[in-house]
Structure 1
Amino acid sequence: MKRIFISIIFVISLIITILFIDVQISTFDKEFYSNKFDEYNIQGITKIEKDTLMEVTDELLKYMKGKRDDLIIRAEVNGKEEVVFEERERLHMVDVKDLFEKGFIIKNIAIIILIISLFFIIKFYPKILYKLLMISSIVPILILGLFGIAISINFNKYFTIFHEILFTNDLWLLNPKTDILIQMLPLDFFYSISMRILTYFILQLIILFLLGIGLREKHKME
């Protein structure tokens, strides 16, 4: 029973750790934003110069990391200096920041649990480690494969469901004609970053699976 419990804890904490790290890496990659701004012509849509867009993005990411107290950011928009994000946008980002803060906590707890459970497995049940690595990769890959197909067919549907689950208000329903936040980060951007996270996650799961196979072969030779 103890072995089963530790195994389950290990698998869950490993999956959560990898997924949350991938989300964090993708979300705070400023080069990714820069490339997508060019790809989607965000400069033309927002009427904000590329350098200014990147400065605003930098402040936005600082806010999400808790390194900035508010999102009252002034910048030149269409030749006039003004506050970039209106109140509704700023209120929505309060909710987003709260989600990321909880995500950081969950990730850190998962890492600690992963290290502790890995220690016990290596010390007391080293021969089952390869099985756990393979289980940790196979099940999520199958689920995420289906999920990837689903969102590629109708991303808007699942994007809406995602927001309805995570948010208790409708502040996320912004106007693409007037709200710069959604102009900067349109639906295509979220599709791209979702597929990027998914790709990173699946590749890492494949590496885990191969590592599991390697450990299994090593045990056979012993």
Structure 2
Amino acid sequence: MFSGGINMNKYIRQTLIVFQNFSLFISAILGIIFYNCFNLDFYKNFYSKENLAPNINTSNDELINNTSNLLDYLNSKAELNTSWFTEKDILHMKDVRTLYNVSFYTMIFFIVLFIITTILIIILSKHKTMFYITRTFNKTLLAFIILIIVLAGIISYNFNSFWIKFHQLLFSNDLWLLSPDESNLIKMVPEEFFISLITTIILHILLLFVALLVLNNILKKRFRNI
């Protein structure tokens, strides 16, 4: 009976650690996505590198102002500039804002889950908390790193196919099919922009995960004999 109780406690602790790891990695990935997507400097650097403003017949100031307006709209701080964005642009961005909101609350959910599972692990493990966490951490993290690398391979092999399937999966309409002849939105953020953005996001995720892997190995050695 006593042995069964110990095994049950071990199973619960291990399950909590997996959920804790999972929630940490998901919230970190979403946090990195939000940081890059709302980083105005990233847009400015892309516009400067591609010399975009004169290529789409606008001034750099107007392009930056409308980009700021776009990001403010996604943050529910402003309405889109109707003199710049077309009706179809606005309808699509409404869907995108809904997606961002769902993603934001998903991130908050996983942050809360991380905190709750961490507290429960501490209660169950007491002074051996770090020993148990670090023992499982690498396995879960390596699984995420492999998934990210596989995704990066798929994207680099055929970005256009990935981008189409991504939109078909997340949107229930075809408003995302914008024409450069009509849409200022697609002129501002062409395919090359998203290739650069997604590449940056993946690199940031991998850098963070490698840093976590190194940190965990250091902590694992420190808490091995506790």
Q: What TM-score do you get using the length of structure 2 for normalisation?
A: 0.89
Q: Which structure has more RCO (C-alpha within 8 Å, separation ≥ 6)?
A: 2
Q: 1:154: which partner in 2? A: 158
Q: 2:181: which partner in 1? A: 177
User: SS of the counterpart of 1:193?
Assistant: helix
CA contact (8 A) 1:133 1:211 kept: no
Q: 2:64: which partner in 1? A: 54
Residue deviations 1:156-197, cap 9 Å, x none? 110111000000000000002221100100001001110111
CA contact (8 A) 1:30 1:58 kept: yes
Amino acid in structure 2 at the alignment position of 1:136: T
CA contact (8 A) 1:122 1:129 kept: no
Residue 221 of structure 1, CA deviation: 4.5
Output the aligned Cα RMSD: 1.4
Gaps of 5+ in 2: 1-10
Find the aligned partners of 2:110 and 2:218 in 1 and give their Cα distance: 25
Q: Does residue 1:163 correspond to 2:167, yes or no?
A: yes
Residue deviations 1:134-168, cap 9 Å, x none? 13321111111121122112111101110000000
How many residues of Structure 1 are paired with residues of Structure 2 in the alignment?
A: 212
Find the aligned partners of 1:209 and 1:124 in 2 and give their Cα distance: 24
CA contact (8 A) 1:17 1:110 kept: yes
Q: Does residue 1:210 correspond to 2:220, yes or no?
A: no
CA contact (8 A) 1:14 1:110 kept: yes
CA contact (8 A) 2:18 2:140 kept: no
Q: 2:98: which partner in 1? A: 98
Residue 35 of structure 1, CA deviation: 0.6
Which portions of structure 1, spanning 4 or more consecutive aligned residues, are displaced by more than 6 angstroms? none
Amino acid in structure 2 at the alignment position of 1:29: N
Where does 1:190-201 land on structure 2 (aligned, <5 Å)?
Answer: 190-201=194-205
Gaps of 5+ in 1: 75-82
Higher mean alpha-carbon deviation, 25-34 vs 120-129, is at: 120-129
Q: Does residue 1:27 correspond to 2:37, yes or no?
A: yes
Amino acid in structure 2 at the alignment position of 1:87: E
The alignment-based identity, stated in percent, is 28
CA contact (8 A) 1:10 1:114 kept: yes
